[in-house]
Amino acid sequence: MKAQEVIRSIEAEQLKSDLPVIHVGDTVKVGVRIREGGKERVQPYEGTVIAMRNGSINETITVRRVFQGIGVERVFLVHSPRIESIKIIRRGKVRRAKLYYLRDRVGKATRVKQRFDRSL
């Protein structure tokens, strides 16, 4: 076996199979495992997916939300063991692969139209 094949086989074991189909523009709720002291809990993080990157084990999504008037973006490794769950709240209708223009928008201008032809 070549080194590349060994790496692919190890990565294949780590891939999650229960993930929903995520698209840019969707509003998602990501359950993130957080360790505080000796305890572990799941903290939900809800926002709009503004970017998706790569495939395979390195797949990431960038989720943006406004918290107390400040825009906060987090990049999540989709196949990470820290991610408990990803739930799609609503589908967004967008015409771009990256929604970085939402960073410059404030208030109601940040809304994304809802898409009804895809199921949740």
- pLDDT tens per residue, the chain (120 residues)? 799 999 889 888 888 888 999 999 999 999 999 999 999 999 999 999 999 998 889 999 999 999 998 999 999 999 999 999 999 999 999 999 999 999 999 889 999 999 999 887
Left (φ > 0), alpha (ψ -120 to 50) or beta: where does 11 sit?
Answer: alpha
Rounded CA separation 89/106 (Å): 21
d(CA 38, CA 116): 43
CB 48 within 8 A of CB 27: yes
What pLDDT score was predicted for residue 72?
A: 96
